[in-house]
Every structure is written in C-alpha cells, then in structure tokens.
Amino acid sequence: MTTTHLTHIPDPEGVQPGPGYTHVVMGTGRFVALSGQVALDEKGEVVGPGDPEAQARQVFENLRRCLAAAGATFDDVVKLNYYVTDVAYLPAIRVARDAVVDVTRRPASTAVQVAALFAPEILMEIEAYAVIPEDRA
C-alpha cells in the first residue's frame, strides 16, 4: 500500500505474514529517530506502576509528543522497537498502538524481552523511526 511518501509491503513473497506488523516500510523524505520512551509523565513520575495497559498508553502519548515536536505523526512512523520486561505485555502494547496507528498500514517492528530497564517499575520502552515527507520537512 502506498501513501504520499511511504510504501508498506506487509507480506513479501516467501515470507510468513506478520501478525500485527508490516515486514517492509520504505519512504522518501526526512528521517526522524525518536529515543526510547517509557511511562513517565511530564513531571518524571511513573504512570501506572505494575499496569502494562496504563504504561503502554503513556508511552504512546510520549511518542506522539516527540513526533509532533519533529512535525510528524504516527502516519509517518516506519518502525517501532519494543523492549519489554515480559512478553506477556505485548497484547496491551498492541491495543495502545492500534489506538494511534492506522491498522491497515502498521509500521515494521521488533519486540525484545529484556532482563530489566533503568527502573524496576518501568515495564517497557518503545522507540520509533519516522520519515517525514519533504513538503513537511
């Protein structure tokens, strides 16, 4: 599927279709890398200690704010990387992601379970890569 600046190839020939992500996303424009975001609010307080749904919502809100600072939206995201302390949190993350991402044009993604993040109450960290079309760059 092609938009004005991104092309999504969800199931390349010979590759098992991905459940909930796109295998290949390519685009033209300005590349934007966002640092990993965690469930901290604007005061640095943890949102939803022990609650993966609340943390995922906060993480995606933080990502939205970072994207906006670059002149981007979730429509411009080409890749999401998930670092979770338990892969059991992935369904909650998908719900939060699908609330902000066009589910017919999901970004490429990678999910990794890690032993720990920088603080024990932080359950996930998510980073994003986006491509902004030249006319918005």
Q: What is the pLDDT of residues 38-69, one digit of tens each?
A: 999 999 999 999 999 999 999 999 999 999 99
The CATH number of whichever domain residue 63 belongs to comes to 3.30.1330.40
Is there a domain that residue 71 lies in?
A: yes
pLDDT at 3 over 80: no
Is there a domain that residue 20 lies in?
A: yes
Q: How high is the pLDDT of residue 136?
A: 75
Is there a domain that residue 1 lies in?
A: no
pLDDT band (50, 70, 90) for residue 2: very low
Q: How high is the pLDDT of residue 20?
A: 84
Q: How high is the pLDDT of residue 137?
A: 60
Is there a domain that residue 137 lies in?
A: no
Question: Distance (Å, rounded) from C-alpha 34 to C-alpha 129?
Answer: 6
In eight-state DSSP terms, residue 23 is: S
C-alpha distance from residue 111 to each of 37, 83, 114 (Å)? 14, 6, 10
pTM of the model: 0.91
Is there a domain that residue 50 lies in?
A: yes
Is there a domain that residue 117 lies in?
A: yes
Residue 87 belongs to domain spanning: 6-132
Collapsing DSSP to helix, strand or coil, 114 comes out as coil
Domain count along the chain: 1
3-state secondary structure 37-98: ECCECCCCCECCCCCHHHHHHHHHHHHHHHHHHCCCCHHHEEEEEEEECCHHHHHHHHHHHH
Strands 77-84 and 108-113, how do they pair?
parallel
